[in-house]
Structure 1
Amino acid sequence: MDIALTLVVNPGCSFSLEKIAKDACGLIERIADTHTLSEGRAADLIFKSVAKDATDSATDSTTDSATLASFTRTLSPHLNSISGLDWCLGPEKYRKKRLILADMDSTMITVECIDELADFVGLKDKVAAITEAAMRGELDFEGALTERVALLKGLSRDALERCYSERISLMAGARALVQTMKEHGAQAVLVSGGFTYFTERVAAAIGFDVHRANVLEFDGDALSGTVQQPICGAQTKLDTLLEFKDKLGLEVHDILAVGDGANDIPMIEAAGLGVAYHAKPKTQAAAAASVRFGDLTSLLYFQGYRDQDFVI
């Protein structure tokens, strides 16, 4: 198994891409083939597999996993200490994914919709504190969502429209990520613990094929303070991944999942490449890779895409 180490240097990084690459090769004492993905910004280091005898084929998988784990243990402390660097380590084979599942709030868009809605009723600080605790995994997601939605009772449809038009911005790189993957044959699913009122619009703006989220209930033209059951939470996200895996006839290695909160952990752990995006500590710990500094185009570099491949 060839192993790919992708390095993405962001503005303000304390070291050059070339130095980081050189130091990485020195740490694991292996020479790598270097592929430039973005001049001065992103590169792949491809570490070739050690040749095995034919009699060793039964143990190849175990050996490969051990090699990858060894690389990770050696490189992680050093690479994680570099401010401005995002990186990903994994098998070189099957890097370009055929399915992406993505969270919406604070992942595909820059805000938490429910916090912005709460601002219209003067409760943003209160709701945002609950959101933060839920995303950190300190509160039951379903209970926290029910509590927050109840605080929005009486909010008008007009306020929801104003919230979308005035407060919602796409995350940098969101369209490039989804459109580039789709150009290369991938399916894109937006699955959120937020609300369909927003996912429908965000999915259309970015280019997702499918969107799933919670449905706010209304009493006339105002929110009733309730949400349809069952709640779209962590289990729904995992179930959606498994559903599309089977529907599209994919293997685990074909799937990319990205999110920032604790409710994203099950789908991140189930994906071939699970990425924590500017995420909470528990989510980072569960993910195979993290984007701490850059935008969503980092996920394209992690798959081996070059700048010239991007669909902007």
Structure 2
Amino acid sequence: MSLAYAAVLISDPARPAVDVGVLALVSRALGLAQPKVLATGIAAEFAVTTADPDDMRAAIVEVVGEAQLDVALLPEDGRRKRLLIADMDSTMIEQECLDELAGALGLKERVSAITERAMRGEIAFEPALRERVALLEGLPAEETVAQVLAERITLTPGAKTLVATMRANGAYAALVSGGFTAFTGPISARLGFDEHRSNVLDVVEGRLTGRVHEPILGREAKLASLEDLISSKKLARSETLGVGDGANDLAMLEASGLGVAFHAKPAVAEAAHVRIDHGDLTALLYLQGYSNAEFVTV
């Protein structure tokens, strides 16, 4: 049975690639109607009726060739979501906070290597987190966190617009991180999230003890947070949008109505409903059918 889909083409706003030529090529090659332009040069969508969205997406990817584009096929029904549940590190911000804390001790390279393995799913998240936090023992907590936030942390392009636009259209936004409340608190406030959930670093007399409070918020806890929000907000699962980049996000992404792997590790990108490899976080708005004229900027 054929259903109605939107075939969405998205590029990095800093390197527009959804040009007239690409759109004409896709339209001619696949016999599609004229596209709806969501943002000139950046995003557009075609109305598609197909029984096999995976095959249609593959056909479009083949047509666009080497163009730096993200392509997604999404059911037209229920595209706009009422819940955004988002990872923080390397998703809503461009860094890994724990790695940056380790940089204050000259241990960033060592800790980053463990982080990378955990995010790829090569080692379990919880023991990897304990191992990394143990290396930070003795670090002055408040002043180091404040310095990292001020000097080392940058918001991912499109993050503020994503949260502001979804909230302005009635969505609830939750930042759910395997990181730490010392970071998710300030960052969720900067980005305009409704709430944040994360781990707590143990501090005694102003210094990190090298321990994290148990239980650790990891892969299963992120999934549990999604389920809790669906229940407490009385949402249908189809009304939820999850975004993340690492292996500890995968259960949450798979259980979301729309799970988006954002500049993600290979295994996560392969398993998620949609992968965004080129666009910034405004890509998640284009996936929902928003045009840039509808964006809310703060």
| Amino acid of the structure 2 residue aligned with 1:23 | L
Partner of 1:112: 96
**1:184 aligns to 2:169 (yes or no):** yes
Partner of 1:24: 26
| Amino acid of the structure 2 residue aligned with 1:142 | E
Partner of 2:136: 152
Partner of 1:162: 147
Q: Could you list the per-position Cα deviations for residues 146-187 of structure 1 after superposition, in whole angstroms to 9, with x for gaps in the alignment? A: 000000000102111111111111111101000000000000
**1-side partners of 2:206 and 2:62: how far apart?**
53
Partner of 2:110: 126
**2-side partners of 1:67 and 1:92: how far apart?**
14
**Could you tell me how far 1:20 is from its partner in structure 2?**
2.8
Structure 1 unaligned segments of length 5 or more: list them. Answer: 50-63
- CA RMSD of superposed structures (Å): 1.7
Contact 2:9 2:18 in 1 (8 A): no
Identity of aligned residues (%): 45
- SS in structure 2 at match of 1:106: helix
Partner of 2:290: 305
- SS in structure 1 at match of 2:193: coil
- SS in structure 2 at match of 1:90: strand
Partner of 2:47: 46
* TM alignment of 1:44-83, pairs within 5 A: 44-47=45-48, 49=49, 66-78=51-63, 81-83=65-67
**2-side partners of 1:232 and 1:143: how far apart?**
12
**2-side partners of 1:144 and 1:113: how far apart?**
14
**1:277 aligns to 2:227 (yes or no):** no
Structure 2 unaligned segments of length 5 or more: list them. Answer: none
Contact 1:2 1:46 in 2 (8 A): yes
| Amino acid of the structure 2 residue aligned with 1:203 | S
**1-side partners of 2:18 and 2:237: how far apart?**
34
**1-side partners of 2:62 and 2:120: how far apart?**
23
Name the TM-score, length of structure 2 as normaliser. 0.93
**1-side partners of 2:250 and 2:61: how far apart?**
20
**2-side partners of 1:282 and 1:22: how far apart?**
33
Contact 1:9 1:17 in 2 (8 A): no
**2-side partners of 1:150 and 1:287: how far apart?**
32
**2-side partners of 1:166 and 1:5: how far apart?**
40
**Could you tell me how far 1:93 is from its partner in structure 2?**
1.3
**2-side partners of 1:184 and 1:92: how far apart?**
18
**2-side partners of 1:111 and 1:148: how far apart?**
16
* TM alignment of 1:279-294, pairs within 5 A: 279-294=264-279
**2-side partners of 1:78 and 1:196: how far apart?**
45
Contact 1:7 1:17 in 2 (8 A): no
* TM alignment of 1:247-262, pairs within 5 A: 247-262=232-247
Partner of 2:201: 216
**Could you tell me how far 1:33 is from its partner in structure 2?**
4.8
**1-side partners of 2:126 and 2:110: how far apart?**
17
**2-side partners of 1:240 and 1:3: how far apart?**
29
**2-side partners of 1:253 and 1:23: how far apart?**
32
Q: What stretches of structure 1 move > 6 A for 4+ residues in a row? A: none
